[in-house]
Amino acid sequence: MITSVQNETIKKIMKLKQKKYRDEENLFLVEGFHLVEEAKKAGCIQRVIATSENLLDQDGLLVSQKVMEKLAFTKTPQPIMAICRKPSHTSFQPSLERYLLLDGIQDPGNLGTIIRTALAFGYDQMILSPECVDLYNDKVIRATQGALFQMKICQMDLLEAISLLQENHVPIYATSLHHALSIEQYPIQKQMAFVLGNEGQGVSNEVLKQCDHALYIPIQSIDSLNVAIAGAIVMYHFPKV
């Protein structure tokens, strides 16, 4: 059992709390029984960390409660964590039916909720702009509730993604409050891609100009909806056919 937070192995694991080291090592951390189980199903686990031998496999790492509290992201951690390899389904796929493109989403809770919702509504792939919050941020991971391990997600320049989708005859719909038609005005098609924008600025003008259509959700009394809520409404309104 490792009991010191100064242990070299623990120090290396601690570095995975930083995006720089997650990117360098192609690894990230998950915490708690549910996320560890989902990672296990996806075959992403490199090593399990736990405070009880009963929770470990042969290659697991046994640590004290003090060390677990240091490694964990939550104040009262569950007795299990895992070091995971980043999923391999991260390449753009050009001939699917439903795409969701995210332009600079900054809030981890929003990103995680959108990922979970996209999986629930059967969307095929999500494309994140480089300006989005890190996909492997612990708050993002917790908000996905494990959907991260099942959803096809890639990160790339949105203008490039839009161009590739249009080459494959996939129409692009941007959410916008200006020069847009209500979602009710657009028919459901076999292939569709939707762009959701940054919480404060919406879809950038550069991206908006490249999209084929602009749509809005009719609402009353307020100016706009939370982006995760707006995304859920759009995805529900335009299911796969």
Q: Based on the fold, state whether residues 204 and 102 are members of the same structural domain.
A: yes
- Residue 118 has phi, psi (to 5 degrees) of -60, -40
From 201, 177, 191, 196, select the one nearest 238 (Cα to Cα).
191
Domains of the chain: total: 2
For residue 49, give the CATH number of its domain: 3.30.1330.30
In a domain, 91, yes or no: no
Q: Distance between CA atoms of 45 and 28, rounded to whole angstroms?
A: 10
Q: What is the mean pLDDT of residues 157-161?
A: 97
Q: What is the pLDDT of residue 91?
A: 87
Q: Which of 172, 170, 174 is nearest to 216 (CA)?
A: 174
221: left (phi over 0), alpha (psi -120 to 50) or beta: left
Alpha-carbon span 90 to 228, nearest angstrom: 22
**51-72 pLDDT, tens digit each:** 999 999 888 999 999 999 999 9
In 3-state terms, what secondary structure has residue 224? Answer: coil
Q: Model confidence over 115-138: pLDDT tens digits?
A: 999 999 999 999 999 999 999 999
Alpha carbon distance 171, 212 (integer Å): 6
CATH code, domain with 168: 3.40.1280.10
**C-beta neighbour count of 126 within 10 angstroms:** 23
| pLDDT at res. 89 | 60
Residue 3 covered by a domain: no
Model confidence, pTM: 0.94
Q: Residue 103: inside a domain, yes or no? A: yes
Residue 42: which domain range?
8-85
CA nearest to 229, candidates 49, 153, 237, 36? 237
Alpha helical stretches, state H, 26-94 = 33-41, 65-71
- 132-156 confidence digits (pLDDT tens): 999 999 999 999 999 999 999 999 9
Whether 2 is in a domain gets the answer no
Mean pLDDT calculated for residue range 15-38: 97
Task: Please check whether residues 165 and 140 belong to one and the same domain.
Answer: yes
The verdict on 80 and 102 lying in the same domain is no
